[in-house]
Amino acid sequence: MSIKRALVSVSDKQGIVDFCRELSALGVEIISTGGTSTLLAKEGVPVIGISDVTGFPEIMDGRVKTLHPAVHSGLLAVRDNEEHTRQMKELGLDYIDLVVVNLYPFAETIAKPDVSYEEAIENIDIGGPTMLRSAAKNHAFVSVVVDANDYATVLEEVRAGGDTTLETRKRLAAKVFRHTAAYDALISDYLANVTGEPLPERYTVTYEKIQDLRYGENPHQKAAFYGKPLAALDTLTAAEQLHGKELSYNNINDANAALQIVKEFEEPAVVAVKHMNPCGVGVGESVYEAYQKAYNADPTSIFGGIVAANRIIDADTANLLKDIFLEIVLAPGFTEEALEILTKKKNLRLLKIGNLSTASARKSSFVVTSIDGGMVVQESDVHSVNPDDLQVVTDRKPTEEELKQLLFGWKVVKHVKSNAIVLAADDMTVGVGAGQMNRVGAAKIAIEQAGEKSKGAVLASDAFFPMGDTLEMAAKAGITAVIQPGGSIKDEESIKVANEYGIAMVFTGVRHFKH
């Protein structure tokens, strides 16, 4: 076999003129449609219009042009099937040996902030996926290219042997079906959102590979990093790496955890994360002050951690950051002086994240978690407590300063693995108890970490207290105020203990389990 006829119809025309010129020089006849045909003719590449092949005009603004037996017979005919061959000859049809197609830019269209529903629907490609699927199904005989990165391989093999190898055709066909599946998934997701069905009877997601990773959580596990199409600029998948080694699987998870926490704050904030839990969070008048608080919250655990800031890193802050070993620093930007300081650390990864705001932290999305044999899907936890919604359940109300620290702690505990307890004072965490099998254990860890700093601190709990023992422990440690969801059948026991010790306690009515 050899490639004699190619059908070319592309929306993204990058590299297509040179590719077709090379094919034509190798004796391949080029059939094309619409704008692609016009471009090739303008650039002096010999081209046959699709209507000359089908004997039928392009109609309905180009909606119907390649949906024709003359096209799909040429693509689907099994070349070593005598009946197929007889029918092709009887009907005067010719084979098509190569299809080069990429699709209407649906993703780019719906990414426009002012896109209308009608415009989105008009950019759903019909003929393109149909040709791709026909050619990919018949890859035993037909080569199909959907990615401009494969032009060079096809040309090389055609020059060498007149056709692509079966191995290459299989690989190209597999890429086509991945491509069309992703295209349909994006359309499905768009329409599900339009029709108010975010959790439909079939849930299809698509992601694009950003990079291969050296390994996963451990060296014996394979891993790769994928991003969702149209990801927001303030997500890790859209981050720009300015310096340092490639990200690892664990780096990505930790950095994402840090990013989600720092988005909770409007004021300058810095978050330090280890193993997806915050080890230090601080807010201040400047990023410099916020970092000092985050560092002092736990100077031991921050070593080898991830630091996220919601303000541009300046030189003064960079000089503090350089003094310890960190895996990643991520921020909306870095001053030139800060970059000069931090890039002297060869392996430190610097990530520039798009415009960070609390609004993005409150934008609902869906979280997909794989399980053995399936997955579970839920809305992301974007709840933000309104101070006016808090219910004071104790005799003593929290002071203005206590309320400020309670709200700070509540923002942090939301992102700590359950069971979770956070102690806060002076706009910083002073103790974090994470991932414990019981709430008393989490409180004990947080209080032990805080030490003397627990005196006068406030406590945030991600879920209610099933009994009064956690309040007893908090009171003995000198904690003065508590924020928790409430809702336990033994709330009155906790309220009684709080009143006995003069602790102010507020209920949010919302819990923040994080598994």
* 383 has catalytic annotation: no
**Measured between alpha carbons, how far is 36 from 17 in angstroms, rounded to an integer?**
9
All residue ranges of the chain with pLDDT < 70 are 359-362
The residues, any chain, with a CB within 8 Å of residue 324's CB and separated by 6 or more, are 295, 302, 303
Q: What's the rounded Cα separation, in Å, for the pair 478 and 402?
A: 13
Q: Which two tokens stand for residue 398?
A: 């929290």
Amino acid, single-letter form, for residue 44? G
Encode pLDDT of 273-325 as tens digits. Answer: 999 999 999 999 999 999 999 999 999 999 999 999 999 999 999 999 999 99
Q: Are 397 and 505 in contact (CB under 8 A)?
A: no
Cβ-contact 320, 342 below 8 angstroms? no
Give the pLDDT score at 359: 66
Q: How far is the C-alpha of 468 from the C-alpha of 474, rounded, in Å? A: 10
Query: Which own/partner contact pairs does 204-207 have at CB distance under 8 Å and 24+ positions apart?
Result: 205/368, 206/181, 206/182
Q: Which of 84, 228, 275, 383 is catalytic?
A: 275
Asked if domains 233-355 and 386-507 share a fold, the reply is yes
Instruction: Note the CATH architecture for domain 386-507.
Output: 3-Layer(aba) Sandwich (3.40)
Q: Count the alpha carbons within 13 Å of 99 in the hemisphere toward its beta carbon.
A: 32
Nearest to 357 by CA among 311, 411, 314, 308: 311
Q: Which of 137, 228, 322, 383 is catalytic?
A: 137
Catalytic (active site) residue 275: yes
What radius of gyration, in Å, describes the C-alpha atoms of the chain? 30
DSSP string, 399-443: PHHHHHHHHHHHHHHTTSPSS-EEEEETTEEEEEE-S-SSHHHHH
| CATH code for residues 5-195 | 3.40.50.1380
Q: What's the pLDDT score for residue 191?
A: 94
Residue ranges per domain, the chain? 5-195, 233-355, 386-507
pLDDT at 267: 95
Cα–Cα distances in Å, from 327 out to 96, 235, 330, 339, 513? 53, 18, 10, 15, 27
Helix, strand, or coil here: 496?
helix
Q: What is the C-alpha to C-alpha distance for residues 269 and 288, in angstroms, rounded to an integer? A: 9
The whole-angstrom separation of Cα 296 and Cα 324 is: 13
What class does CATH assign to 233-355?
alpha beta
Predicted confidence at residue 401, as pLDDT, reads 97
